Structure 1
Amino acid sequence: MFPHQDIKQLNILIVNQTTKGRELTSKLKNIRVVNSYEKGLSKSRNLAIKNAVGDICLIADDDVEYVKEFETITKEGFIKFPEATIIRFKIDTFTGEQYKAYPKTGGQLLSRKSIKPTSSIEIAFKRKAILEKGIAFNTLFGLGSYFQSGEEYLFLKEILENNLKVYFEDKYIVKHKKESSTTNVTEKDFLRTKGAIYHIDHKGLAVFYAAKYVFFLLRKGKIPLKDTISAYSKIIKGSKDYKKFT
C-alpha cells in the first residue's frame, strides 16, 4: 500500500473486524489496531473516525497503493481550500487507464448531485469538524449491511446538510485496479439500495423517481420491456424496507 513512503513516518489505524480469539495487536507506536466484533463496512469506518488521531484523515482499502507524496498533495489541498471539510481527489490505475469520469477542472465546490460518484478512497477529511457535527456513516448501508452500497453518498450528503464544504482537487492520491466499466444496474441489491436512497431523498415522491429510473434503464437498453415491472418492484421494495427502520 505504501511503496513510496517510510511506513514508520505514517500514522495508521487498522480496524480489525474479527471474532474472539482472533484479535490483532501491533508493536509499532505509529500503527494502532482497534479490534471490533461487529460486522459491516460503515461500522468499521465510524470506528476509524472515532479512534483516529490525525487532524486530516484518509480512508484506505487494502487493495490500493498510495502515490508518491500523497501526504504533501493532501496537505496542500487543505491549504488551498482552508474552508473545506472534505476534499475529493482522484484515483489512478495501475495500467494508466481512466478509473472513472471526474470534473474537468479542480477547485470546484461540489453539490449534492456531484458528490454521487465519490469513492471513500479518494477523499480526505477534517476529523474534528465531522465529530463536532455528529456525522457518521449510515450503518444500514455498505458492504455487510442491509443495503450493500450508497454509504459514501449518504455520508457526503450529511456533510453538505450540515453546511460543511466539499471540494474537488484535480490530483491523484491513490491507485486502484480499473473498476468494471459498468455497474450491474439490474442487480437486486443495487435496485433495493436505489429505492432506499430515493425514500431518504424524496420521501413520498420515491415512487415517481423509481418509475423515472426504470424508464431510464429501458431507454438506455439496460433492461428489456418485460423486466420493467420487476425492476420497479425491487426499487419500491427497497424504499419500503428502509421505511421499516425509520
Structure 2
Amino acid sequence: MNLRGEDIVEKSCIKSDTLIVDQCGHDGYREYEKDGRKIRIYSVNDTGLTKSRNYAIKKSTADICLLCDDDEVFVDNYEEGILTAYKDIPEADVMIFDIGNQKTIHRDKPTKLGYFDLMHVASWQISFRRKSLIENDVYFDERMGAGSGNGAEEELKFLTDCRKKGLAIYFVPFVIADVAQTKSTWFKGYDEQFFINRGNTTRYIMGYVPALLYAVYYSVRKRHQFNRDISWFKAFRLILKGMHENRLGKN
C-alpha cells in the first residue's frame, strides 16, 4: 500500500520478472527493466489484500507465479530452484516452498500435501501454475484477508479451493527466502475479535463440525500464546461465538 520511494524489488533481492500491485487511491501503470528483469507496477484505487492478489493473478502473463509479501528477502537462486522443482514434478499445480526463518512443514523430501498440511502454510510459501488457476477459476476469496474486516485464513481457503478443484499441491523443502519480523497489517494480538473472526473463517472453510473440533484443538494447543486475560476456555467460547455468528455464509 502506498509504495513510495523505496525500491521493494531491491530490498527483497528479487532477481526475476515482477508484478507489483500498489493500493494507493488512484489508478495507473508503469514498467521498466533492470538487470534483465521486467518490473510492472499497477497502481489501483482499491483496498484489500485478496483483491490485490487476484488482480495480480489476472494481470500476470507468467507460467509460474510466486506470491511475495513486502517483508521477504529472497535467496540468490530462488528462481532456479522453483523452476527446477516444477520441471521435476510436472503434475504439480501448486507448490509450497520453505522459508528459512519461518519453517512450518517439517519434511525432508518433496511431498504431496493433504488437507491438514494446508493449515500450516503461509502466503509467502505459495507458488502456482497460473494456467491451472485460470482454467479452474480458482482465486482468493475477497471476503477474507487483511482489509476485509473478517480476519485471515485466506491462504487456507485458497488452498482448499485448489484441492476441491482437483489441483495437485506439493511441498518442496527448498528455501526461497527469509521473512522479516515486521508488524502485521491485520494481527493485533490474541484479543476477543481475533477469536470471533477465527470462528467465522474456520466454519466458512471447513464446515461446522470440523470447525468445532478444530476450535477445541486450537484453543488448547495455542493457549500459551494468548493474552493474559484470555484463557483457553474463553478463547474456545469466543470461537464458538464466531461460528454461530457465521457472517461469511452458511456451511
Contact 1:110–1:167 (8 Å) recurs in 2: yes
Q: 1:11: which partner in 2?
A: 17
Structure 1 gaps, min length 5: 94-98
| Matches of 1:77 and 1:210, distance apart in 2 | 32
Contact 1:218–1:225 (8 Å) recurs in 2: no
Query: Are 1:143 and 2:139 matched, yes or no?
Result: no
Q: TM-score w.r.t. structure 1 length?
A: 0.81
Q: 2:242: which partner in 1?
A: 238
Alignment map for 1:14-33 (pairs within 5 Å): 14-20=20-26, 23=27, 25-28=29-32, 30-33=38-41
Letter matched to residue 14 of structure 1: I
Contact 2:150–2:201 (8 Å) recurs in 1: no
Structure 1 residues 170 and 221, CA gap change in structure 2 (3 angstroms): closer
Choose which of 77, 83, 107 in structure 1 pairs with 2:85.
Answer: 77
| Matches of 1:101 and 1:228, distance apart in 2 | 23
Q: 2:162: which partner in 1?
A: 159
Between the two proteins, the alignment pairs up a number of residues equal to 235
CA offsets per residue over residues 115-162 of structure 1, 9 Å max, x none?
111111112110010011111111121111122210111101111111
Structure 2 gaps, min length 5: 1-8
Alignment map for 1:208-223 (pairs within 5 Å): 208-209=212-213, 212-213=216-217, 216=220
SS of structure 1 residue aligned to 2:152: coil
Tell me whether 43-52 or 203-212 shows the greater mean CA deviation. 203-212
Structure 1 residues 150 and 221, CA gap change in structure 2 (3 angstroms): closer
Choose which of 190, 194, 199 in structure 1 pairs with 2:194.
Answer: 190
Choose which of 67, 87, 111 in structure 2 pairs with 1:59.
Answer: 67
Query: Are 1:129 and 2:132 matched, yes or no?
Result: yes
Structure 1 residues 152 and 245, CA gap change in structure 2 (3 angstroms): same
How far 1:62 moved relative to its partner? 1.6
How far 1:237 moved relative to its partner? 3.0
How far 1:200 moved relative to its partner? 2.5
Query: Are 1:116 and 2:119 matched, yes or no?
Result: yes
CA offsets per residue over residues 208-234 of structure 1, 9 Å max, x none?
436624762598695889845642342
Structure 1 residues 225 and 215, CA gap change in structure 2 (3 angstroms): farther
Q: TM-score w.r.t. structure 2 length?
A: 0.79
Query: Are 1:100 and 2:103 matched, yes or no?
Result: yes
CA offsets per residue over residues 37-56 of structure 1, 9 Å max, x none?
22111111011111111000
Letter matched to residue 200 of structure 2: A
CA offsets per residue over residues 157-199 of structure 1, 9 Å max, x none?
111111111111111111212589xx98843343123212332
The one of the two structures with greater contact order (alpha-carbon pairs below 8 A, sep at least 6) is: 1
| Matches of 1:207 and 1:3, distance apart in 2 | 39
Q: Percent identity?
A: 25
Structure 1 residues 228 and 118, CA gap change in structure 2 (3 angstroms): closer
